[in-house]
Amino acid sequence: MTGISRRHMVAGSGALAMTAASARALAETVGVTKTEIKIGNTSAYSGPASAYSTGAKSFIAFFDMINEQGGVNGRKIKIITLDDGYVPSKTVEVVRRLVEQDQVAFIAAPLGTAPNSAIQKYLNQKKVPQLFLASGADKFADPQNFPWTIGWAPSYRTEGQIYAKYIMRERPNAKIGVIYQNDDLGKDYVLGLKDVFGKDYDKKVIKQVSYEVTDPTVDSQVLTLKDSGADALVSACTPKFAAQLIRRAYDIAWQPLHCMSNVSASVGTVMKPAGPEKGIGIITSAYIKDASDPAWKDDPGVIEFKAFSAKYNPTADMGDSSNVVGYGYAITTLQVLQQCGEDLSRENIMRQAANIRDLDPKILFPGIMINTSPTNFRPIRKMQLTRWNGTIWEIFGELLEGAPV
């Protein structure tokens, strides 16, 4: 079967005979007609985080494929995606338009920690599902306080814990430097380090610096970290700044043990622009297969992803992991719609998003599946450490799982 594999289909998800009651309910369902489901999305098609927009393009292309195959239960999926430039105030503006003017059924795969933070309360007050956020911020897994918001990627805080444990094991006397984006994304990594280092945090971390997403470069921060004497580094940066950091550290001959946020592990948007040879030895965590890595060339999931991309998203760079991630968001969103059957109310959409069992989108590492429940809003909880060798990310060690404190 071309495109989405049959294993992604939910048993018994065929069209249901509509009763008079269900017909009336449909007429009252926001964003849904007998022939269409409207989904809202925001991304940074412009601005400092525009490298991430490839994820949204892959997400949209996936539903172009689904529509060509007949849609979901006979309904075509209409994605309305708007540019927020990664500016939270703009995100608020465009999301209000999506909800109040465009009348979308829900928001899916919206980009960014700060942008999603800006709309989280609004969407929860309106009881509009905010599904599968393009952010691993731990705050988006809080079903008690924000029952209409659910993430997708592993928690940044958990990732920070994993890096702290790795550094302690490999270099127990390390003098650690930390650079982080000054928002919830970056701060979650710091919290993860503090979870592990505890009262010794200020002894182990000898220098901590931050940057703003509006800063032109992080060159001065890199010099400050080197001058501090740090011989290990944890960087919680988005792609533009991660590439700058790698280049600058190489240029000044600073070679710390470097653990880098997996949001910047893209070969196409970070490692190649930085200079592949300049990042050799960097450690990151991963959960998504790299479609450009020869190790996965015979993998059925990667083969399927490449076939999809060739037909529906032909300009996609196989080295840009955001394309694979966007595909994963789309498969998960499709699963929710299929589980909903004919009840596409916002309440049931959210209920099904919080009841996913062992979904295998086939682009995650072996042994990693998507699971949610009313008390588990972290669909992916496992990760794998990898090391950059100048060409690819080499996997090492075992699957790791953490539970944020």
Q: Residues 118-128: pLDDT tens digits?
A: 999 999 999 99
**Which pLDDT score, from 0 to 100, does residue 16 have?**
42
Mean pLDDT of the chain, nearest integer: 92
Averaged pLDDT, 175-199 = 95
Please state which architecture CATH assigns to domain 6-154+293-374. 3-Layer(aba) Sandwich (3.40)
d(CA 341, CA 20): 16
CA dist list (Å): 227 to 66, 206, 221, 387: 53, 11, 10, 25
Domain ranges in the chain with CATH number 3.40.50.2300: 6-154+293-374, 156-286+385-401
Report if pTM > 0.85.
no
Is pLDDT of 41 > 60?
yes
Residue of 383, 269, 388, 389 whose CA lies nearest to 322 = 269
Min mean pLDDT across 21-35, 256-270, 295-309 is at: 21-35
CATH 3.30.230.70, domain 156-286+385-401, yes or no:
no
**Which pLDDT score, from 0 to 100, does residue 13 have?**
39
Pair of tokens at residue 364: 């995650």
Provide the edge-to-edge strand list for the sheet that holds 106-108: 76-83, 36-43, 106-108, 130-131, 149-150
Contact predicate 362/304, CB 8 Å? yes
Averaged pLDDT, 203-210 = 98
d(CA 91, CA 83): 8
pLDDT class of 21 with cuts at 50, 70, 90: very low
The residue ranking higher by pLDDT, 14 or 53, is: 53
**Which pLDDT score, from 0 to 100, does residue 400 have?**
84
Strand 130-131 with 149-150, pairing: parallel
**Which pLDDT score, from 0 to 100, does residue 268 have?**
87
